[in-house]
């Protein structure tokens, strides 16, 4: 029988899922309170909330929002802490990977993530963390769009310059001769 507190938790988690770009699952067993606090502080910078949610309550909250997946069901076994990436999924993945790298021997483990309705295992999350930030990707795209235009402008300028130099040479030749 669901209690009012469980129903409220399910509603809060469902809202967090709806607001998130990605949901990342971790195994937090063995982390101290100080380590969890430090991790939460680092995640807050990237617009991510991090909390422990009972697996059954998360499953209820995810119904209709996250497609059913056997890998996700397998991930939701054992103690699970969930990170809701509200702003940038790549920054969240990077924050976790960087935390694990900076704290060698940490018991924190990435179980997987759901991004755009697709499940990624821990290797997929690690690969996601290596994607450049959004601003860098936009700059690269704009640079690649601008490159052919710049080349065309340079070519046209070269043709006009050569034409002017040719006219100048003809003028100089006629004046000298």
Residues 78 and 110 in one domain: yes
Please write down the HEC assignment for all residues of 83-142: EEECCCHHHHHHHHHHHHHHCCCCCCEEEEEEECCEEEEHHHHHHHHCCCCHHHHHHHHH
Residues 16 and 33 in one domain: yes
Domain that holds residue 67: 4-131
CATH code assigned at 28: 3.30.70.1730
pLDDT per residue over 144-175, tens digit each? 887 777 777 788 888 888 888 888 888 888 88
Residues 35 and 115 in one domain: yes
Residues 78 and 108 in one domain: yes
Q: Count structural domains, the chain.
A: 2
Residues 46 and 82 in one domain: yes
Which of helix, strand or coil describes residue 166? helix
Residues 110 and 167 in one domain: no
pLDDT per residue over 106-155, tens digit each? 888 888 888 888 888 888 888 888 877 777 778 878 888 877 777 777 88
């Amino acid at each position: 029988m669901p209690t009012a507190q469980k129903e409220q938790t399910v509603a809060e988690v469902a809202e967090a899922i709806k607001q998130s770009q990605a949901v990342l699952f971790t195994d937090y067993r063995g982390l101290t309170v100080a380590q969890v606090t430090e991790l939460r502080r680092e995640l807050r910078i990237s617009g991510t909330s991090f909390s422990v949610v009972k697996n059954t309550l998360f499953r209820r909250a995810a119904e209709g929002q996250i497609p059913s997946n056997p890998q996700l069901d397998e991930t939701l076994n054992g103690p699970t802490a969930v990170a809701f990436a509200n702003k940038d999924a790549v920054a969240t993945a990077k924050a976790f990977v960087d935390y694990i790298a900076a704290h060698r021997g940490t018991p924190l483990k990435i179980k997987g993530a759901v991004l755009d309705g697709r499940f990624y295992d821990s290797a997929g999350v690690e690969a996601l963390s290596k994607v450049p930030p959004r601003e860098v990707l936009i700059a690269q795209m704009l640079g690649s769009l601008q490159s052919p235009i710049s080349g065309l402008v340079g070519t046209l300028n070269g043709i006009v310059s050569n034409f002017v130099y040719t006219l100048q040479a003809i003028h100089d030749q006629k004046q000298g001769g």
